[in-house]
Amino acid sequence: MVGFETSDDAAVYRLDERTALLLTVDFFTPIVDDAYDFGRITAANSLSDVYAMGGRPLTAMNLVAFPCSLGPEIVAEVLRGGGDVCREAGVIVVGGHTIDDNEPKFGLSVLGIVDPERVVRNVGARPGDVFVLTKAIGTGVIGTALKRGLLDGNSARPVIESMAALNRAACDAMQEVGVHAGTDVTGFGIAGHLHEMLEGSDCAGELDFGALPIFDGVLALAADGVVPGRTAEVIEYAAPFTTWTGRPAPIGPGAPLDDLARWRVLCDPQTSGGLLMAVAPDKSEALCAALAKRGCACAVIGSAIEGAAGHITVTD
């Protein structure tokens, strides 16, 4: 039913009239020092692709690449963290594969199910739809600050817990109310993933930067250049389809520092971010209420409009 044509979060394969399989895989290198937290975050990130499609994950297989020199204790902690998040999600870890690799990596291959008539794709937004986001952004900046020793695990704990939190409740709310499109915010930042949604939906969008939920301290760190190495690639990718209240995207050495910081945050590669949903305006309050009922924070961050497919206008 769904392949990789529109950069959807998972493949969808119909089994029969009532059941379709969701298939996805994700893995990455450590973004935190604590092995247990790394396992939790990675598992939540991998499972998120199924939730973003409106489905329920059932099984997972571990993908483990670690240098033997680290010893089994570190790998055990990573797997324990991933296993605990899988248990929280009701997912059974049924096996996996390990290799010796100089650079540690961990992830999951996930199998889930969904009603074929209720698949949520990252296309289908309509002009007038409201954009709702369920997690704060800035995880890439905070992760970089951790790696540079500018923050410790305690000061970054709210961000770590956000990344380790499942998007299951957000998925349930999304399915209860009904949305036109949905995706999770990960490696292409809020700008990149919103663009994918808009381009596939053949419409444009307005994004209210002031409405974006951003973790404390992220803007200041971004102004100081504390950003992931990949941020520059995302900025280069996003600049052609992004304008800021009628002016070009604020990039380059001549850009005001505050503007440059905001641009970096907009293009900050996220790990295990929240769900980004396009919902009809008459359902937006119901969606926010359904999220709140399940303990999910949410923010209305903009709307879809008529215009060039994929174009984003950022308002200040």
- Enumerate the β-bridge partners of residue 23: 11, 111
- Single-letter code of the amino acid located at 51: Y
Residue 133 burial class via C-beta count within 10 angstroms: exposed 0-12, middle 13-18, buried 19 and up = buried
Give tens-digit pLDDT for 270-305.
999 999 999 999 999 999 999 999 999 999 999 999
- Taking 70 as the threshold, does the pLDDT of residue 256 lie above it? no
pLDDT at 249: 65
- Taking 90 as the threshold, does the pLDDT of residue 307 lie above it? yes
Could you tell me the pLDDT band of residue 255, with boundaries at 50, 70 and 90? low
The C-alpha torsion from 85 through 86 and 89 to 91, rounded to 10°, is 180
Alpha-carbon distance 316 to 300, whole Å? Answer: 15
Q: Note the CATH architecture for domain 11-118.
A: 2-Layer Sandwich (3.30)
Could you tell me the pLDDT band of residue 6, with boundaries at 50, 70 and 90? confident
Q: Where are the domains positioned within the chain?
A: 11-118, 130-315
| Interaxial angle between packed helices 168-177 and 35-52, expressed in degrees from 0 to 180 and rounded to the nearest 10 | 10
C-alpha distances in Å from residue 304, one per residue of 266, 277, 307: 17, 11, 9
Once rounded to an integer, what is the mean pLDDT over residues 53-63?
97
Q: Is the pTM of this model over 0.85?
A: yes
Q: Compare 245 and 46 and report the one with higher pLDDT.
A: 46
Where does the chain have alpha helices with state H? 35-52, 72-89, 139-147, 157-164, 168-177, 189-201, 218-223, 231-238, 257-266, 284-293
Give the domain 130-315 fold: Phosphoribosyl-aminoimidazole Synthetase; Chain A, domain 2 (3.90.650)
Alpha-carbon distance 254 to 260, whole Å? Answer: 9
